Structure formats: C-alpha cells, structure tokens
C-alpha cells in the first residue's frame, strides 16, 4: 500500500503530508511559561501504531488520547529503538541505542549473568551454525539517566509502573535518579492485573482493584504532591502487555463490535486500551484542575509494536492487528518498531500539528534536556538528537538515519537476527547469514510507496543497498554492537542434544507473550 494513500485514508494525510516535514492545523496560543516546565511521560507497553483513533483505528475507543493529539503534535514516523520493551526503555532513559548499552532483549527480570560469561561466545555447540549474542540484563548504574540529569537541575523525579531493567533492587528507579518509585522493579508484567498483584515494589490494593487505575491514582497523587515544584513524572503502564487482565464489564461492551476495516477484533485489547485512555484523561484532568496544564509537557509513546503473535481470550484471538504495517512486536518490520507518539507542549507546539519526520526513542533524552534548559555533560555520549526544532517547526534534524539492532532469533514471530537502517523513505534490513552461500540477506523498501513492506527492491537497486549497508556497518562499529558470528565448530551433520536443544526452529504462535 502507498504510504501517502493510507495516511490520507485514516485522516493523517492532509496535515502530515502537506509539507515534507511538520505541518500544523492551528496556531500556538501564548508564550511558553518562564518557570521550568513539568514533564509527564506516559509509556504504554505493546501498544501498536494503529491502536488509537487518532492513528486510524475504527475499533478501539480512545477519546482522551485523540484529544491529546488535537492539543499537541502527532508523529507519523516515530520509532522505538528496539522491537521489545527493556531495550527501548533503556534508550529513553539514556539517549543511547540499545546496541551501545548491550541491552538488546527484554531480560531485565533475569539474574545477572556471571562476570566471566561473555555476551558473545567465541564458539557454540556443533549443530549451531550461527552464534548470536545474549543481552545485558540490567541498566548499569554508570549510565547517567534523564532522571539524574533533571534531579541535579532541581527537578522532583517520580517513576510509576513498569521498569524491567534489572532483577536486583540496586538497578531499580530508586538508584537511577528517581526520588519516588512505585512499582518499578524487574517484573516484565504483573502476575495479575487485579489486586492482589503479587508485584515487587507495589503494595496490593483492595481486592479486585485494577492495576491501570491504581497506577493512575499514584500518578495523580504525585502530581498533587509536587504541584509547587518542577517535576519529571514517568507513568509507564503495564498495559497492554500480558497477561491481559481486563475489566469484564468493559470488555462486554465490545463483544459484538465490528471493525469496518476488518482488522482489529479483540474485545480484551479494546477493554485494556479503554482503561489506558481513561488514565490519560484522568492525568490531563488533574493538570487542568491544578492549573498546571499550560506549563506541563506531556509525551505519549509505546515501547514496541503491537503484539500479533500471542493468542488470548476464549476465542484465542491475536491481541491486535498492525495493518497496514507488516509484522509486530519482536520483529524488525514496521509493525515491530513504528510507534504512536504525541507531544503536548502548550504555547510552543501548535495544536493539531502533524509531523512526518523520522524520530526515535533515543531522541527523548536530548529533547527533554533542551526543553528544560539543562545542558548535557561535556563527556556525555548521546546517540539521539533533540527534536525541539520539529516541535517548534523551526527546522529539521541534522542526522541522516536511525537504526534498530536486534541480533536475536525470535521463534514465536519467525524473526531472524538483523539490523535495519531508515534513511529518508528508504529502509534496508540486514538479516545475518541468511542469504545465498551463507551471506547476509537484504531487504530494501521504499516506505513512502510501500508502507507494508511487500516489495523487496534489493535486487533492483544494488547501489542503494550498498550505500545503506555502509551506514549499518558504521553504526555497528560506532556503538560497539555485538553481532552474530559463524560458529567455527559448526558441523552440518551434528544434531542437537537434549542438553542443548535447537532454539531457532519455527514454532506455532505462542499463547504466552514474548516479554
């Protein structure tokens, strides 16, 4: 499908595509406040690009998220730095690519690896042709997080919700720059969405209390308590991640609802997103009530693409559908990393704006620094670039490309270890050692003409492949990325043993979620 035609069909085209960068549907009202701005960063888990009304969904009901888009700027080409949660979260907190951090899978709930175990083995079992890296399982304390930067600048800092960046409490938000931590621990998801939650660092509420509501309660309390101070609040919801707890009374409303697009059909996901949307509305109402709305910047984002491979509910339906994007969570096609992004910055961002410039989760750190007037440390290495020029519509970004490095096979989704680069409308994917003769395999797409990634142009445009692959190689070297390597011990006649089972064969879609 042609990208322009699709964006126009879902109502994103007129503004987003009127100019090659950002375009507005209204004018800014007033000057930005002189006091340091507050920040509320709302991160949703596993919410896909098509999972809100303002992005084209005709099934999910998200009036508060849609209202946020009308009051701010909506990005059509925003990307998570990884198709899974922990790496993207780390990129937001540090402004660095997961490849540089060596956090490339969501392993933040597992014990630290022994110090003597390398993240990339030099050799593997005889049957294994390619050796893939393993991921670091925590966010190192040496990293200077955005919370630490703003805390040093006089901000109050609060974290509420899902962390998933270290099993040991020494790596939790309390030790990463946040004054307040409610729920932030190693858990990838709550054992239960209803109290008792059985979660680290979150006390159980009344029996049956819903966790999305509870986290919102905590966020509202935090805003109330810090209304007289500049604050940074991260409200990082567990929803809409597995185990897909939902409010039965809300879910019933969607039992007979049909999607006119014929794509999204899961009442459980609709119910969970409805609760998320109500959370957004409650937070915005509290800011209005306390007259903080004009001096509070709100960022709304998702950590990876919508889950299309799990099966949930009595009808065993996929949680969501990302069409027209290909793939979903745990894949490096567009459905795995293209995300909803809305930024509300009263007095600066023009209401109802749309932007088609390419941005990444590594950009949040330098953006928040510039918004707050805080300078990065001279020795600080940031991979991201401030998107303030896009928000102000005063210029474009300097960089030429963004990257996603995901050197892991994910059997549940059929994903092969790979790296991609997005430069302008072009996207090149390098799949490691999956081509003819054991070489890399390449897929090249023009996303403006083929948003669904159905027409591989790699053979037609070999020079473009070469040019973009050089960018990939430069990125890997610059970040010190760990990449798959051939196994020097490989024997094509060897068979897996019971102690070393083959893990890269395709499997039927799993019912439990890839974390």
Would you state the pLDDT for residue 13? Answer: 55
For 120-159, the three-class secondary structure string (H helix, E strand, C coil) is CCCCCCCCCCEECCCCCCCCCCCCCCHHHHHHHCCCEEEE
Specify the CATH architecture of the domain 3-118+133-399.
Answer: 3-Layer(aba) Sandwich (3.40)
Would you state the pLDDT for residue 88? Answer: 99
Q: How many degrees, rounded to 5, is the angle at CA 109 between CA 172 and CA 496?
A: 155
The CATH code for residues 404-486 is: 3.30.1120.10
Give yes or no for residue 14 having a pLDDT over 70.
no
Tell me the mean pLDDT in the region 105-114.
Answer: 95
DSSP-derived secondary structure for 49-91: TTSSGGGT-SSS--HHHHHHHHHSEEEEEEE-SSSSHHHHHHH
Q: Tell me which residue of 343, 237, 360, 351 sits closest to 298, measured CA to CA.
A: 343
Domain ranges in the chain?
3-118+133-399, 404-486
**50 and 264 Cβ atoms separated by less than 8 Å:** yes
Q: Tell me which residue of 178, 151, 285 sits closest to 224, measured CA to CA.
A: 285
**441 and 481 Cβ atoms separated by less than 8 Å:** no
Tell me the mean pLDDT in the region 303-312.
Answer: 97
425-475 confidence digits (pLDDT tens) = 999 999 999 999 999 999 999 999 999 999 999 999 999 999 999 999 999
- At 35, the pLDDT band (50, 70, 90 cuts) reads confident
**357 and 16 Cβ atoms separated by less than 8 Å:** no
Would you state the pLDDT for residue 6? Answer: 61
386-395 confidence digits (pLDDT tens) = 999 999 999 9
- At 216, the pLDDT band (50, 70, 90 cuts) reads very high
* Burial status of residue 67 (CB atoms within 10 A of its CB: 0-12, 13-18, 19 or more): middle
In which residue are the tokens 């005889």 written? 126
Would you state the pLDDT for residue 496? Answer: 87
β-pairing, 130-131 with 485-486? antiparallel
Total H helices, total E strands in the chain: 13, 16
Give yes or no for residue 10 having a pLDDT over 90.
no
473-496 confidence digits (pLDDT tens) = 999 999 999 999 999 999 999 998
- How far apart, in whole angstroms, are the C-alpha atoms of residue 418 and residue 404? 9
Would you state the pLDDT for residue 200? Answer: 87
Would you state the pLDDT for residue 497? Answer: 77
Would you state the pLDDT for residue 227? Answer: 97
257-299 confidence digits (pLDDT tens) = 999 999 999 999 999 999 999 999 999 999 999 999 999 999 9
DSSP-derived secondary structure for 269-289: HHHHHHHHHHHHHHHHHHHHH
Q: How many residues does the chain have?
A: 515
- At 16, the pLDDT band (50, 70, 90 cuts) reads very low
182-191 confidence digits (pLDDT tens) = 999 999 999 9
Give yes or no for residue 17 having a pLDDT over 50.
no
**185 and 191 Cβ atoms separated by less than 8 Å:** no
**pTM metric for this prediction:** 0.93
């Amino acid at each position: 499908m042609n990208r322009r035609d699709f964006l126009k069909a879902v109502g994103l085209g007129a503004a987003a595509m009127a100019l090659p960068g950002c375009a507005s549907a209204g004018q800014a009202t007033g000057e930005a406040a002189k006091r340091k701005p507050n920040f509320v960063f709302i991160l949703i888990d596993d919410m896909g690009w098509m999972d809100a009304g303002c992005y084209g969904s005709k099934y999910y009901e998200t009036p508060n998220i849609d209202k946020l888009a009308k009051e701010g700027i909506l990005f059509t080409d925003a990307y998570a730095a990884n198709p899974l949660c922990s790496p993207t979260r780390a990129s937001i907190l540090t402004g660095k690519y997961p490849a540089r951090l060596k956090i490339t899978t969501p392993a933040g709930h597992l014990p630290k690896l022994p110090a003597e175990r390398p993240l990339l083995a030099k050799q593997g079992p005889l049957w294994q042709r390619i050796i893939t890296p393993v991921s670091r399982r925590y966010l190192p304390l040496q990293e200077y997080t955005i919370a630490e930067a703003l805390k040093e600048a006089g901000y109050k800092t609060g974290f509420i919700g899902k962390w998933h960046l270290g099993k040991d409490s020494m790596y939790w938000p309390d030790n990463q720059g946040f004054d307040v931590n409610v729920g932030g621990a190693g858990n990838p998801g709550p054992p239960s969405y209803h109290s008792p939650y059985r979660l680290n660092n979150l006390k159980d509420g009344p029996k049956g209390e819903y966790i999305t509501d509870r986290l919102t309660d905590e966020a509202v309390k935090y805003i109330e308590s810090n209304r007289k101070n500049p604050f940074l609040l991260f409200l990082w919801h567990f929803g809409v991640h597995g185990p897909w707890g939902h409010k039965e009374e809300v879910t019933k409303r969607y039992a007979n609802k049909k999607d006119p697009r014929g794509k999204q059909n899961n009442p459980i996901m609709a119910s969970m997103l409805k609760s998320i949307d109500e959370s957004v509305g409650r937070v915005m109402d509290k800011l209005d009530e306390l007259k903080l709305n004009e001096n509070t910047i709100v960022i709304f984002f998702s950590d990876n693409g919508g889950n299309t491979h799990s099966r949930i509910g009595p009808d065993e339906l996929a949680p969501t559908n990302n069409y027209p994007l290909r793939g979903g969570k745990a894949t490096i096609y567009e459905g795995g990393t293209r995300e909803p992004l809305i930024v509300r910055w009263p007095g600066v961002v023009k209401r109802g704006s749309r932007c088609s410039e390419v941005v990444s989760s590594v950009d949040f750190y330098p953006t928040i620094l510039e918004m707050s007037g805080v300078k990065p440390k001279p020795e600080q290495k940031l991979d991201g670039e401030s998107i303030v020029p896009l928000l102000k519509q005063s210029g474009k970004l300097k960089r030429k490309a963004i990257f996603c490095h995901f050197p892991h096979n994910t059997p549940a989704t059929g994903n092969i270890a790979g790296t991609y680069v997005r430069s302008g409308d072009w996207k090149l994917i390098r799949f490691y050692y999956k081509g003819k003769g054991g070489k890399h395999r390449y897929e090249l797409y023009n996303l403006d003409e083929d948003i669904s990634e159905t027409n591989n142009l790699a053979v037609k445009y070999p020079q473009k492949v070469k040019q973009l692959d050089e960018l990939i190689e430069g990125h890997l070297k610059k970040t010190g990325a760990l990449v798959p390597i051939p196994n020097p011990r490989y024997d094509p006649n060897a068979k897996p043993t019971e102690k070393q089972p083959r893990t890269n064969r395709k499997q039927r879609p799993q019912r439990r979620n890839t974390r």
